[in-house]
Amino acid sequence: MARRKLPTAPPAKFRAGDWVVQNWGGYRVPVLILEDVGPVGWRGVRYYRYLKPDPYADPVESETTEDELEPARPDEVAAGQAAAARGG
């Protein structure tokens, strides 16, 4: 009997250090990718660990799936970097 070949995971859309946006309560919030956790499970859903800077509180570190993230526009990248510089 021939061995069945397992499907390979598609390449990652984002890398550590990329600024992306996540829909957070109806707003496009810039977040910084910290780590590509990789494909998880038999369907190979890719997870990323990210940091959401907040100028008024401690930054939020969490994980989400690749399909919930989008590339950030230059103005969103600038907003995220400004929030991180103010202490978030």
In angstroms, how far is the first alpha carbon of the chain from the final one? Answer: 57
Q: Per the structure block, which two tokens stand in for 23?
A: 């829909």
pLDDT, tens only, 19-28: 999 998 889 9
Q: pTM for the full model?
A: 0.83
Rounded to whole angstroms, how far apart are CA atoms 62 and 51? 7
Give me Rg for the CA atoms of the chain. Answer: 16
Which pLDDT does position 68 carry in this prediction? 94
**Domain range list for the chain:** 19-85
Q: Is the pLDDT of residue 88 over 60?
A: no
The C-alpha atoms of residue 53 and residue 2 are separated, in whole angstroms, by 51
CATH fold label, 19-85: SH3 type barrels. (2.30.30)
Give the closest residue to 20 by CA, choosing from 39, 40, 57, 46. Answer: 46
